[in-house]
Structure 1
Amino acid sequence: MSKDNHELKGRVALVTGASRNIGRAIALALAEAGASIAIVARSDQAAAESVAREVEAHGSRAIVLLGDVAQEADAARLVGQAVDALGGLDLLVNNAAIRREAPVEKLSFADWREVMGVTLDGAFLMSRAAIPHLIAGERGAIVNIGGLTAYTGAMNRAHVISAKAGLDGFTKALAHELGPRGVTVNLVSPGMIDTNRAHTSSGGEPAHHNTTRTLVGRRGTPEEVAAAVLYLAGPAGRFITGQTMHVNGGAFLP
Structure 2
Amino acid sequence: MGNEQRIALITGGSRGIGRSIALALAKEGYPVALTYRENRIKAEETASQIISDGGRVLVVEMAMEDRKSIREALQTVRSELGRISILINNAAIAQEKPFGTITDNDWDAMLNVNLRGAFVCAQEVLPDMLEQSWGRIVNISSIGGQWGGVNQVHYAVSKAGLIGLTRSLAKIYSGKGITTNAVAPGLVATEMSALELNTEAGKEKVKNIPVGRIGYIAEVTSAVVYLVSSDASYITGQTININGGMYFG
Give the TM-score band, short-chain normalised.
over 0.9
Could you tell me whether the CA contact under 8 Å between 1:193 and 1:219 is conserved in 2? yes
Per-residue deviation, residues 191-230 of structure 1 (Å, max 9, x unmatched): 11011239xx968746652342322211111111111110
What SS class does the counterpart of residue 119 from structure 1 fall into?
Answer: helix
Question: For residues 138 and 75 of structure 1, what CA distance do their matches in structure 2 show?
Answer: 23
Could you tell me whether the CA contact under 8 Å between 1:175 and 1:186 is conserved in 2? yes
What SS class does the counterpart of residue 241 from structure 1 fall into?
Answer: coil
1:194 aligns with 189
Which shows bigger deviation, 206-215 or 234-243? 206-215
1:106 aligns with 101
TM-score (norm 1): 0.92
Per-residue deviation, residues 162-184 of structure 1 (Å, max 9, x unmatched): 00000010111111111122100
Question: For residues 53 and 220 of structure 1, what CA distance do their matches in structure 2 show?
Answer: 26
Instruction: Return 5+ residue gaps in structure 1 as ranges.
Output: 1-6
Which shows bigger deviation, 239-248 or 134-143? 134-143
- What is the aligned counterpart of 1:13 among 8, 12, 17? 8
Question: For residues 28 and 176 of structure 1, what CA distance do their matches in structure 2 show?
Answer: 30
Instruction: Return 5+ residue gaps in structure 2 as ranges.
Output: none
Pairs within 5 Å for 1:78-157: 78-157=73-152
1:4 aligns with none
Residue correspondences, number: 246
What SS class does the counterpart of residue 186 from structure 1 fall into?
Answer: strand
The residue type paired with residue 49 of structure 2 is: E
What SS class does the counterpart of residue 71 from structure 2 fall into?
Answer: helix
- Indicate yes or no: 2:156 matched with 1:158: no
1:247 aligns with 242
Could you tell me whether the CA contact under 8 Å between 2:148 and 2:157 is conserved in 1? no
- What is the aligned counterpart of 2:69 among 66, 74, 96? 74
Could you tell me whether the CA contact under 8 Å between 1:191 and 1:247 is conserved in 2? yes
Query: Pairwise CA RMSD of aligned residues?
Result: 1.7
How far 1:77 sits from its partner (Å)?
A: 1.4
Question: For residues 208 and 26 of structure 1, what CA distance do their matches in structure 2 show?
Answer: 29
How far 1:239 sits from its partner (Å)?
A: 0.8
- Indicate yes or no: 2:203 matched with 1:210: yes
Could you tell me whether the CA contact under 8 Å between 1:155 and 1:207 is conserved in 2? no
How far 1:96 sits from its partner (Å)?
A: 0.6
Could you tell me whether the CA contact under 8 Å between 1:155 and 1:208 is conserved in 2? no
Per-residue deviation, residues 124-153 of structure 1 (Å, max 9, x unmatched): 111111000112223211000000111122
TM-score (norm 2): 0.94
What SS class does the counterpart of residue 74 from structure 1 fall into?
Answer: helix
What SS class does the counterpart of residue 39 from structure 1 fall into?
Answer: strand
What SS class does the counterpart of residue 172 from structure 2 fall into?
Answer: helix
Question: For residues 29 and 8 of structure 1, what CA distance do their matches in structure 2 show?
Answer: 12
Question: For residues 205 and 133 of structure 1, what CA distance do their matches in structure 2 show?
Answer: 43
What SS class does the counterpart of residue 191 from structure 2 fall into?
Answer: coil
What SS class does the counterpart of residue 120 from structure 1 fall into?
Answer: helix
Question: For residues 197 and 73 of structure 2, what CA distance do their matches in structure 1 show?
Answer: 31
Name the structure where helix makes up a greater proportion of residues.
2
Residue identity over aligned pairs, in percent, reads 34
How far 1:81 sits from its partner (Å)?
A: 1.2
- Indicate yes or no: 2:42 matched with 1:42: no
